Structure 1
């Protein structure tokens, strides 16, 4: 059994703990830059507050439970810099095709589906009831929110965020660090660093707003 440290003591951590395989991982505590070190979250201690603290726990494995893609990427990169191990957390109700592939540090929530031939990068969130159809390519640090639907052969590039209930038609590309609003229906490609909303989805913010800024 491996000792686990979760980075981020917020709401996302509730889903992670609910889906964790406790037969293989023992929860050690949280690192969080807001909550007081020594306090508790969900019954586990806050054992650190900053990136430098991860070096003290080189014998542990890690999971980054931060919803913001850019901040999640920052922690992921620091963990890799220190050659530390990240785990995937996959709920036992999720359906993951044996022909799907997945990187490190990913979360697949309750009743989510990853179908034949889809490829999921590192540090991704595939949240509750998300559907990722055949042949989709999900880049690193992507967040697919609850009930989002990616039809066949969709590409979501690095840092993309797909809001709850959004639908992306087949063979559409969502550019790097772009955001698809909740409930949107995407029928054409989305440019990088762009926010689209509505039915059909239309661009409301362009490169003047950097979704990936920290």
Structure 2
């Protein structure tokens, strides 16, 4: 059984712990740069950084950080050190055999990824989210709870689609876009925009996903 370290000791870690394949991975503990606790959810707090770990290469890793910008920062650290990332796919998720899932992704409870869709590295497809056929979800994106992406949509790097949002088919959502909860996207969205409403309209610019709504 492989030893697993979870990076990030916040609320998202609860969902991750619930969906881990415990037949193949044993949770060794958490790394979190902000936590002063000695444990989280019954597991020890091992360190505040990768550099503090002894024999870091012996572990597998999963990044349980919801913010796309900060998750990417940790992803880049792990890749630079050639440490091993896993996917966490809940047993209730439906992932087509014709879909492609990258590295370090979370596919939550009752999420659906349909045929010929590609979910790239370090993405979150949260509980009950639907990614229809032929979609392309770029690195570090977050498809939030109960959101719907219809067929042949391209979601850019680091974009965040809020809970219960709906994206019409055959659209392009740019890089580091934030789509507000409940929004209905009917047109392409340019890079670094925040959109909200029904239909979705640009409400402001954003900077690399640091502001999520």
TM-score above 0.5: yes
Match of 2:183 in 1: 184
In the TM superposition, what whole-angstrom CA distance separates every residue of 1:123-152 from its partner, at most 9, and x where no partner exists?
A: 000000000000000000000000000000
Q: How many correspondences in the alignment?
A: 211
Q: Which residue of 1 aligns with 2:208?
A: 211
* CA distance in structure 1 between the partners assigned to 2:34 and 2:64 by the alignment: 14
**Counterparts of 2:116 and 2:91, CA distance in 1:** 20
1:52 correspondence with 2:51: yes
Distance 2:53 2:113 in 1: 31
TM-score normalised by the chain length of structure 1? 0.96
Equivalent in the alignment of 1:116: 115
Aligned: 1:135 with 2:134: yes
Give the secondary structure class of the aligned counterpart of 2:62. Answer: strand
Residue equivalent to 2:3:
3
- Please show how residues 82-101 of structure 1 align to structure 2 within 5 Å: 82-101=81-100
Task: In structure 2, list runs of 5 or more residues that go unmatched.
Answer: none
Note the 1:126-205 alignment, pairs <5 A: 126-205=125-204
Alpha-carbon shift at residue 181 of structure 1 (Å): 0.3
2:6 match: secondary structure:
strand
- RMSD over aligned CA atoms reads 1.3
Match of 1:12 in 2: 12
**Shift, 1:36, TM fit:** 1.8
Alpha-carbon distance in 1 for matches of 2:132, 2:186: 16
